[in-house]
Structure 1
């Protein structure tokens, strides 16, 4: 029994999945950028500066960026040597065995599923406000969940289904939509930087570290640069979606490492630039607003700024949502192929070469959650799930180097185990700075997943059946 739980899966590089192999390294990099640069660039930078870090939010982003980069290098090594479309789930299956892989998959479902529903809610809010700016009002009954006095959050429900139909049309079409939307939001960011950089007042950067490195408040909350780094790590949530595209990359052993490392590096630079310029234009104490970038531009006298930022946010959130839905479907596809969930989820449409059934299933569940349930603080649990999966991927690199030293590794981390060890330490430290309530919700979710494994997945595992 115990041996079965930790029996590992063979490496899958080169297997035929039936999915269409059409994504280049450039497409994969934009996939990561599409997911990592979203609400955070327009909202999170201001909140983190005002409440947690002050102008030193730049350091918070550097710390979070290093943690993400260490994990990114670990992902790159496993993506090139292990393969498969299940991201950290697939790597854990090869390194640690079925039980740990299931737990990681369960955490990833939280990361991608709850994250997608939360982003759909956020997109809905911006969409409603944008329409209101043009004098178009949607009745409140169609913009709020039943518990909030409405019937359904129709924009959140609708955007999920729009993206579901794009995903069903094929991965190349989905990638094209993502690339266009990424271009729009990066243009918005470039315009902001070009306007604001000439208005920087260095006095706004003093004091640079008003909240210090880390301290706990009487109400149980944490502030300081390190607490800010834990918060802004949300900005990097989802870049690992690049690794879910292994089965659809033209040359996964070469292109996945390029896509992963390029997306993390680019996103870190963008966040540092935006947070540095933002706190230079406006004093950090004034940035605890819903749209700090628009607020900064309006203070500089650019009245059209809200429309510019709305365009960037709407495009940005669409790419985040598209990539989250994509990643979720590919993780479920990989789990189904291994027998841990019903086989229907790994059926591939021969015409579109995409897993149509699992896409429709994900669209149905997430659209219902986004349309009928306000997620509230549950969305905060996404951060801890992301960090946990990053830690396991870093551990996986070290374990596989011990267990399979002769495994072909087209990309290999320099310096032996140093980078994965730094990834383990930095991501674990960021987890430690998260509030206790987040840990409680996370552990409850993991507990439910363990029950699901012993109730269904263990008995239907294809690896178990082969070994029997």
Structure 2
């Protein structure tokens, strides 16, 4: 296999009007920013306090800032790359434009793993919250036989609510990106309102004395809690998958990424301060609290049972939004690969009426639906993490390479302080990667190996034929 073919890159200047016969630029800064918030604010924030506070005490507030800083380093790199290479495909496209075809294949494998497993896993989580909400409101729920996979502790035939969620998201994505963005925006507003309402109620029981023993476990506790909190910020990269459908992408994409980071950070800090101020930090270690997250805090303050229903509603809407946006991202990565010839052209066909890659959306929905219905996914979260962190590293490397190769390329945003922030982003991701187990690396290596075998047997020649046609 010639080295030259492995390092070939794609052009960097896409048409600002969109691609002929392809995706059209219809989303402005606010819908793009809502994509980032929608993919980031999931159920993690509803429950992470009861994992982080026992490790750091009231200094969990600093842990949120530290996690936001780590996520922010990657967000800055994404903002520059999105403004310099405003095309669909996110990290896959950035790698193809800067590091070459082989790197793009590896990154695509990471993204498809990250998006596919996480979408199916959160859909399974949605099933549980939906049952809780239905039980609390109308007194009925899906029976266990239709809301669990055959390998669950209480086995069922399939997880039907998870499949229904995937189907609903697929129908929205097929209908059109504008419609999907509007639904996502509405859900983002609702779930943010639920968290703001939690904070407002929690602040009525605020006691400054709860912050007195601020850092009982010192800096080690803060960094440990930050590691737990970090993954509640994952999802900001979803904005960059919309590069081919963004209006004025060199400006709107970086604004949306950084705007989403600012909103998410402010919301998380608000929730953290309100929660810690409302009860002694030692209470977060109570096992009974850990199973119900933030709901028990406002139940204790109000003496009412409605908080459980409210938080279940927030979780249901949060997961719906996350599933919708992450599925959207996966379809755009596959669309971009089809456009470049690395997967069959079937994936790059766009319906002229809806302006969406219908074929790709159906394939993704079937694959994710089968995973959610039948496969136990609880042990695969570390694979999601490794895929995400590798993508973050590649984006930072792409910033450094593109500045050297194309210093003249127009950029709507430039990461400040030269190479310092991209290098810090790489180091941060490597530190987090060092904490993952050998089994995770083995599975990840097998997945990437399968992707490289596919590339060697079919993808390389197909990509060469696609380039020759262009």
TM range, smaller chain: over 0.9
1:13 deviates by 2.5
Residue matched to 2:179: 173
Counterpart-to-counterpart distance in 1, 2:134 and 2:445: 40
**Of residues 365, 381, 398 in structure 2, which corresponds to 1:396?**
398
| 8 Å contact kept, 1:230–1:431 | no
Residue matched to 1:221: none
Counterpart-to-counterpart distance in 1, 2:146 and 2:33: 36
Residue matched to 2:293: 292
Runs ≥4 in structure 1, deviation > 6 angstroms?
none
- 3-state SS, counterpart of residue 208 of structure 1: coil
Q: Does 1:313 align with 2:310?
A: no
- 3-state SS, counterpart of residue 151 of structure 2: helix
Deviation per CA, 1:241-267, whole angstroms, max 9, x where unpaired?
100111111111110011011001211
**Of residues 104, 122, 134 in structure 1, which corresponds to 2:125?**
122
State which drifts further: 430-439 or 128-137. 430-439
Residue matched to 1:408: 410
Where in structure 1 are there 5+ consecutive unaligned residues?
215-223
1:268 deviates by 1.4
- 3-state SS, counterpart of residue 59 of structure 2: helix
The root-mean-square deviation of aligned C-alpha atoms, in Å, is 1.9
In the superposition, relative to structure 1, how do residues 385 and 45 fare at CA in structure 2: closer, same or farther (>3 Å)? farther
Residue matched to 2:238: 241
Deviation per CA, 1:266-286, whole angstroms, max 9, x where unpaired?
111211221222122233343
Q: Which residues of 2 match residues 156-235 of structure 1 at below 5 A?
A: 156-214=162-220, 224-235=221-232
State which drifts further: 35-44 or 277-286. 277-286
Counterpart-to-counterpart distance in 2, 1:76 and 1:171: 21
Q: Which residues of 2 match residues 24-423 of structure 1 at below 5 A?
A: 24-50=28-54, 52-133=55-136, 134-148=138-152, 149-214=155-220, 224-287=221-284, 289-300=290-301, 301-423=303-425
Using structure 1 for the length normalisation, give the TM-score. 0.93
Counterpart-to-counterpart distance in 1, 2:377 and 2:281: 29
- 3-state SS, counterpart of residue 8 of structure 1: coil
- 3-state SS, counterpart of residue 83 of structure 1: coil
| 8 Å contact kept, 1:153–1:370 | yes
Aligned length: 458
In the superposition, relative to structure 1, how do residues 212 and 80 fare at CA in structure 2: closer, same or farther (>3 Å)? same
1:373 deviates by 1.2
1:356 deviates by 0.4
1:196 deviates by 0.8
Using structure 2 for the length normalisation, give the TM-score. 0.93
Deviation per CA, 1:8-32, whole angstroms, max 9, x where unpaired?
2220331515213210100000110
Counterpart-to-counterpart distance in 2, 1:375 and 1:62: 30
| 8 Å contact kept, 2:27–2:178 | yes
Counterpart-to-counterpart distance in 2, 1:394 and 1:97: 15
Counterpart-to-counterpart distance in 2, 1:181 and 1:62: 26
| 8 Å contact kept, 1:226–1:433 | no
1:152 deviates by 0.7
1:436 deviates by 4.5
| 8 Å contact kept, 1:92–1:101 | yes
| 8 Å contact kept, 1:58–1:275 | yes
1:384 deviates by 2.3
Counterpart-to-counterpart distance in 2, 1:170 and 1:64: 34
| 8 Å contact kept, 1:117–1:370 | yes
| 8 Å contact kept, 2:340–2:467 | no
In the superposition, relative to structure 1, how do residues 351 and 48 fare at CA in structure 2: closer, same or farther (>3 Å)? same
In the superposition, relative to structure 1, how do residues 383 and 284 fare at CA in structure 2: closer, same or farther (>3 Å)? farther
- 3-state SS, counterpart of residue 250 of structure 2: helix
